Structure 1
Amino acid sequence: MIKSWLYFILAGFFEIGGGYLIWLWLREGRSIGWGILGAIALILYGAIATLQTANFGRVYAAYGGVFIVMAMLWGWKIDGVTPDSYDLIGACLALMSVLIIMYAPRM
């Protein structure tokens, strides 16, 4: 389970980081180098997600919840936008969903 969470966090960092670099390139007028680095990060995200042992649909459904939490943290720490109580409630619900989807005992 620890390895699975490390893959989720690493994938989230590369997906959000890659998207953010492309955002900086296209929305903030940074050089194309930022966009290229973002594209590389997004490719790495896709590769890292394949290291999970569960099937594709389950991994990507659960990853959505991890992404929600990491995006909130990114916005808070990088962009300086403090999550409000509704953000925190939604993030907690998303994390509960991840736990159910990925780690519930199956027959």
Structure 2
Amino acid sequence: MTVARSILLFVIAALAEIGGAWLVWQGWREHRGLLWVAAGVIALGLYGFVATFQPDPNFGRILAAYGGIFVAGSLAWGMVVDRFRPDRYDVVGAAICLVGVAVIMYAPRAS
């Protein structure tokens, strides 16, 4: 259950961070206005709290592993929201990142 909870928290964090950055991008770069930027800033702030609920007590480990989630999640976001088509190198790179997440977060460790 701990692994499932951790994965769910990573997904929530990715939605908040990637979604927040996308809202800022839309507000500023696509000229949708300051309300979009403000919503993005709020989402980015929420992202900062999500990691505190991870069961592992090591900040550095959680943020390092989250980096792999961010890479894969960003490509997935682009596919769903912006109709981005990743090439095979994007997919292979994201898969490598997710393997890194699994090793960093879920490898058995001596207590």
In which range does the TM-score fall when normalised by the shorter chain?
Answer: over 0.9
After TM superposition, give the deviation of residue 18 of structure 1 in Å: 0.3
CA deviation profile, 1:14-34 (whole Å, cap 9, x unmatched): 000000000011100011000
Q: Kindly report structure 1 stretches of 4+ aligned residues shifted beyond 4 Å.
A: none
After TM superposition, give the deviation of residue 69 of structure 1 in Å: 0.6
Identity %, equivalent residues? 48
- Could you tell me how far apart the structure 2 residues matched to 1:22 and 1:89 are? 28
- 2:82 aligns with one of 79, 83, 87: 79
Structure 2 runs not aligned, ≥5 long: none
What's the secondary structure of 2:31's corresponding residue?
Answer: coil
- AA of the residue aligned to 1:19: A
Name the structure 2 match of 1:26: 28
- Could you tell me how far apart the structure 2 residues matched to 1:31 and 1:48 are? 27
CA deviation profile, 1:30-87 (whole Å, cap 9, x unmatched): 1100011001000100001111122100000000000111000011111111111000
Summarize the alignment of residues 12-51 of structure 1 with structure 2, pairs less than 5 Å apart. Answer: 12-51=14-53
Structure 1 runs not aligned, ≥5 long: none
Count of residue pairs brought into register by the alignment: 107
- Could you tell me how far apart the structure 2 residues matched to 1:43 and 1:50 are? 12
TM-score, length-scaled by structure 1: 0.98
Q: Does residue 58 of structure 1 match 2:57?
A: no
The Cα RMSD (Å) is 0.6
Q: Does residue 89 of structure 1 match 2:92?
A: yes
- 1:106 aligns with one of 92, 106, 109: 109
